Amino acid sequence: MAEDLNLDWANLSFGYRPTDYNVRCTYKNGKWGEIEISSEETITLHIAATALHYGQEAFEGLKAYRCKDGHIRIFRPEENAARLQSTCRGILMPELPTEKFVEMVKKAVLLNERFVPPYESGATLYVRPVLFGTSAQVGVHPASEYLFIIFVTPVGPYFKGGFATNKYVIARDHDRSAPLGTGIYKVGGNYAASLAANKWAHDLGYACEFYLDAKEKKYIDECGAANFFGIKNNTYVTPLSTSILPSITNKSLMQLAEDLGLKVERRPIPEEELETFEEAGACGTAAVISPIAEIDDPEIGKKYVISKDGKPGPVSEKLYKKLIAIQYGEEADIHNWVTIVK
Ligand SMILES: *Cc1c(COP(=O)(O)O)cnc(C)c1O
């Protein structure tokens, strides 16, 4: 049981902490092999592997929740499998079948069950699938061999002091991804491209950097490594863009917004429209919703204050609570989003 470990679950950071096992699967001679269980935290990798030189690498992220009713649940793993397959098509890696992906997620969680934090702590088990080219290549070509690994690590609750807002800063000097580039794929290269902007934003005292579209620098793109949504006139508005990573949290929130009777709009959002939102948030697996207090654009001397009192808005809070309740099995799972692992 989780209690044996005696970890300070509620105060865990979002860092790597070793667990007992990871699960692996190798692609070789044109096919995926058997699922293997490993207690080794390292791999031996060829010095000419395509992952190292040409960024042939992709990852996913989801969480396992220990619930009040004693079950352990995971949220929409088939969506992560489908997104990984889309990424694979994007950077020419072999697609891992959905059934294999989901089976491996369940295995990775169950094998490390003692690391799934207790319900009361608010902490979760973060599940990190990663897939990359392992065979040697010097010319720019896809690898012929790949390794897919899922490891898990317990992480603390995102909001330690309760659901709260943050300030963001528009990074006009940086682009995370190009309009027809890899922004729609969950590849490590997008994160490498964001490190400098992220550091710049943190050094200025902001929670995170905020991106405009790379082509026109006119429309809202992403909120660091999270999708953006705004709320106004009983409408949930989220950007439609070819350089945004399709967030499973955002997709779920759009459905819940509709269920709650809101209108949902997916369309380009010009920067000036920020002025008009009653509420706004960044969404992703890590926080579900991270409400936005203010977005600054120092280069053109503009400030968009979204939350006048610095508190999260009522619609964001309602959506947040509803999604969490589904993830924890406390609300009817009418869309069939949840898989019980145990
Ligand atoms: C992973 C990710 C998200 C969030 O996706 P979720 O499926 O909701 O966790 C958003 N933006 C970027 C760039 C990401 O990499």
Q: Relative to the CA of 80, which ligand 1 atom is closest? A: 7
With beta carbons less than 8 A apart as the criterion, state whether 48 and 138 touch.
yes
| Alpha carbon separation from 317 to 133, 158, 162, 266, 320 (Å, rounded) | 41, 15, 11, 21, 5
Regarding the beta carbon of 239 and ligand 1, being less than 6 Å apart is answered: no
Q: How far is residue 261 from each of residues 92, 155, 210, 276, 324, measured CA to CA in Å? A: 41, 33, 29, 20, 19
Q: Supply the pLDDT for residue 5.
A: 83
**Residue 161: per-residue pLDDT:** 76
- 13 burial class (0-12, 13-18, 19+ CB within 10 angstroms)? exposed
Question: What's residue 162's pLDDT?
Answer: 78
Whole-angstrom distance, CA of residue 28 vs CA of residue 296: 49
- What pLDDT was estimated at residue 159? 82
CA distance 179 to 191: 16
User: Is the separation of the CB atoms in 296 and 167 below 8 Å?
Assistant: yes
Ligand 1 lined by 254 (C-beta under 6 Å): no
Rounded distance from Cα 144 to ligand 1 centre (Å): 28
- Output the pLDDT for position 2: 54
CA distance 237 to 58: 28
Ligand 1 atom 13: the closest Cα is on which residue? 225
259-305: pLDDT as tens digits: 999 999 999 999 999 999 999 999 999 999 999 999 999 999 999 99
Q: Output the pLDDT for position 218.
A: 97
Best CA proximity match to 257, nearest among 210, 183, 319, 173: 319
The verdict on the CB of residue 241 being under 6 Å from ligand 1 is no
Going from the Cα of 193 to the center of ligand 1, the distance in angstroms, rounded, reads: 15
Which stretches of the chain score pLDDT less than 70?
1-4
CA atoms within 13 A on the CB side of 79: 20
Neighbours of 184 (CB within 10 A): 19
**Kind of pairing, strands 208-210 and 166-170?**
parallel
Residue nearest to atom 14 of ligand 1 (CA): 225
CB of 290 closer than 6 angstroms to any ligand 1 atom? no
Query: CB of 77 closer than 6 A to ligand 1?
Result: no
Ligand 1 centroid to 319 CA: how many Å? Answer: 18
Q: Secondary structure of the chain in the HEC alphabet?
A: CHHHHCCCHHHCCCCCCCCCCEEEEEEECCEECCCEEECCCCCCCCCCEHHHHHCCEEECCEEEEECCCCCEEEECHHHHHHHHHHHHHHCCCCCCCHHHHHHHHHHHHHHCHHHCCCHHHCCEEEEEEEEEECCECCCCCCCCCEEEEEEEEEECCCCCCCCCCEEEEECCCCCCCCCCCCCCCCEHHHHHCCHHHHHHHHHCCCCEEECECCCCCCEECCECCEEEEEEECCEEEECCCCCCCCCHHHHHHHHHHHHCCCEEEECCCEHHHHHHCCEEEEEECCCEEEEEEEEEEHHHCEEEECCCCCCCCHHHHHHHHHHHHHHCCCCCCCCCCEEECC
224 Cα: distance to centroid of ligand 1 (angstroms): 9
pLDDT of residue 70: 95
Regarding pTM above 0.85, the answer is yes
Q: From CA 252, how far away is CA 177, in angstroms rounded?
A: 24
Residue 297's nearest CA partner among 240, 218, 235, 228 is: 218
Q: List domains and CATH numbers for the chain.
A: 2-155 (3.30.470.10), 166-327 (3.20.10.10)
Report CA-CA distances (Å) from 194 to 174, 190, 271, 303.
8, 6, 20, 22
Q: According to the model, what pLDDT value does residue 3 have?
A: 52
Centre a 10 Å sphere on the Cβ of residue 286 and count the other Cβ atoms it contains.
Answer: 17
Q: Does 186 participate in catalysis according to the annotation?
A: yes
Q: How much is the pLDDT for 1?
A: 54
Q: Is 222 in the pocket of ligand 1 (CB under 6 A)?
A: yes
Q: Which of 14, 177, 227 to mutate to test the pocket of ligand 1 (most atoms within 8 A of CB)?
A: 227
Q: Which tens digit of pLDDT belongs to each residue from 33-45?
A: 999 999 999 999 9
Q: Which atom of ligand 1 is nearest to the CA of 190?
A: 13
- pLDDT of the residue at 6: 81
The pLDDT assigned to 76 comes to 98
| 316 within ligand 1 shell (Cβ under 6 A) | no
